[in-house]
Amino acid sequence: MEKNIKPNIIVNGITYLRIPVKTQVVQPSDKPEVLIPQYASHLYQPGDIIFISEKVVSVTQGRSIPTRQIKVGLLASILWKHVTKSPYGVGLRNPYSMQCAIDECGKTRILFAAFVGALGKLLGRKGDFYRIAGPQASGIDAPNTSPVEGFESNVSLGPKDPDQVAENIKKATGLETAVVDINDLGGVVLGATREIDRDLIPLILKDNPLGQGNELTPFGIIRKVS
């Protein structure tokens, strides 16, 4: 595993094994419910949990968009420069990702978010822009932030209907599934099957066992050990 991450983690007195699964570079033509059994059917066991990166789900949904396909408008050209730099990443502080946010959320919502965000800055608050713009905007990753060959210059949008994606994977594997956005600063469950504890999964994955580089481990397995 990368970064010397230990395979086991203890959460609330219970030990969990995390098993990252290495694959090919995932393409838009791939389907998670096909890919996971293909690479991991010999690994998972009854009672395991599948977790899959939201970025990979976005790729399979055609929501990883090359910048050459994005036409940056005047509003995006103005707004991106006023987005506060974040320790979580570039986000919308890029004209291409800002244009995608406008396309996803609409001009009215983004303009209102920008207005509220500006007021918030005057009052010493941070994060108002993203709170108003919503998860569709906050889930966008700027170009040149992906280390995966062939996707370096793409803008990555958040996945569509992640709950249904998780259900489709469960039908294919028989296992509870979570679509997760995990990085070195923390994480969140974006979609999951009904039996998943959405608060527990981020704790089990808090050290980001899939890694942030080009490990080509788009999904993994969680197994309760003791």
Q: What is the rounded end-to-end Cα distance, in angstroms, of the chain? A: 22
Q: Could you say which of 156, 183, 204 is where a domain stops?
A: 156
| Confidence label for 186 from pLDDT (cuts 50, 70 and 90) | confident
Q: Is residue 47 a contact partner of residue 222, using CB atoms and an 8 Å limit?
A: no
Asked if residue 201 and residue 152 are part of one domain, the reply reads no
Q: Could you say which of 136, 156, 176 is where a domain stops?
A: 156
Asked if residue 141 and residue 78 are part of one domain, the reply reads yes
pLDDT digits (tens, 9 = 90+) for 40-89: 999 999 999 999 999 999 999 999 999 999 999 999 999 999 887 665 66
Q: Could you say which of 137, 156, 175 is where a domain stops?
A: 156
Question: How many domains in the chain?
Answer: 2
Cite the beta strand spans of the chain per DSSP E: 8-11, 14-21, 49-53, 64-66, 154-156, 176-183, 186-192, 219-224
Residue 152 confidence (pLDDT)? 87
| Confidence label for 2 from pLDDT (cuts 50, 70 and 90) | very low
pLDDT digits (tens, 9 = 90+) for 121-137: 899 888 889 899 988 89
Asked if residue 169 and residue 149 are part of one domain, the reply reads no
- pTM equals 0.88
pLDDT at 210 over 50: yes
**pLDDT above 90 as % of the chain:** 75
Residue 90 confidence (pLDDT)? 76
CA 28 to chain centre: 16
Domain carrying residue 148: 65-156
Q: Which of 136, 71, 60 is nearest to 104 (CA)?
A: 136
Asked if residue 133 and residue 100 are part of one domain, the reply reads yes
Q: Which of 132, 67, 129 is nearest to 100 (CA)?
A: 67
Residue 84 confidence (pLDDT)? 75
Asked if residue 140 and residue 220 are part of one domain, the reply reads no
